[in-house]
Amino acid sequence: MTNRDRLLGSARVLLWDRGYVGTSPAAIQQHANAGQGSMYHHFEGKRGLAIEALTETTQDMRRRAEATLDSSAPALDRVIAYLRLERDALRGCAVGRMALDPDVVTDDALRRPVEEFFSWLTDRLHRLLDEAQRSGQIAPHLVPDDVSAALVATIQGGYVLARAQQDPRAMTASIDGITALLTLQER
């Protein structure tokens, strides 16, 4: 692995665990076993490296979601399968945590990958819920746009609760709760 690749990987790990304001270039260099010169040769600085790192991370997460959402199962089943994906609740979401970082939200280039990931995800779920509604899997009066937002929000909030209580069961409870509400009509 090249120095550049290790720097990117280390940035992804540290941004995930400590956020943007909590991650220093020196910490990234140490984690990657690279010197300052190497980092500033390959990247414009902390910000440039973070933009690349975030872009990679969101692309990975999108691929992972697509693997679950693009199946041949009925639409609602695919949505629920996505809700039920295994998540490291105590670690938090690598993308969601960036949305609460003050220096990320106020910087369009840094925020773009975050925004694009969530826009894509809610839209993807939206279309699946449309399909589920057409085939009678969910109630006709539900607004897929609102429900898809609620689903993504529940996952993100599940991370918040799990970390606040230092107990991953807060995440599973949240997911179980929203799943039960979503499948209520099938009781």
Partner DNA sequence: GTCTATATACCGATAGAC
Partner DNA sequence: GTCTATCGGTATATAGAC
Sites of contact with its own copies (CB under 8 A) = 17-19, 21-22, 92, 95-103, 105, 111, 114-115, 117-119, 122, 139, 141-143, 145-161, 163-166, 170, 173-178, 180-182, 184-185, 187
Name the residue among 10, 180, 152 with its Cα closest to residue 93.
152
Query: For the packed helices 108-134 and 75-83, what is the interaxial angle rounded to 10 degrees?
Result: 140
Query: Distance (Å, rounded) from C-alpha 182 to C-alpha 147?
Result: 9
Among 13, 38, 153, 167, binds DNA (CB under 7 A): 38
Binding partner selected for residue 178 from its own copies, DNA, none, CB under the kind-specific 5 to 8 Å limit: its own copies
Q: Write out the two tokens for 123.
A: 């839209």
Cα 158 to chain center, whole Å? 12
Binding partner selected for residue 3 from DNA, its own copies, none, CB under the kind-specific 5 to 8 Å limit: DNA
Residue 31 in the binding site for DNA (CB under 7 A):
no
Among 31, 46, 112, 163, binds DNA (CB under 7 A): 46
Binding partner selected for residue 16 from DNA, its own copies, none, CB under the kind-specific 5 to 8 Å limit: none
- Closer to its own copies by CB, 41 or 143: give it: 143
CB of 34 to DNA, least distance (A): 5
CB of 22 to DNA, least distance (A): 9
Cα–Cα distances (Å) from 15 to 11, 121, 134, 136, in that order, read 6, 21, 41, 42
Contact predicate 34/6, CB 8 Å: yes
Query: Distance (Å, rounded) from C-alpha 51 to C-alpha 100?
Result: 16
Among 13, 19, 31, 47, binds DNA (CB under 7 A): 47
Cα 182 to chain center, whole Å? 21
Query: Distance (Å, rounded) from C-alpha 156 to C-alpha 83?
Result: 11
Q: Which residues bind DNA (CB under 7 A)?
A: 2-4, 21, 23-27, 34-38, 40-42, 45-47
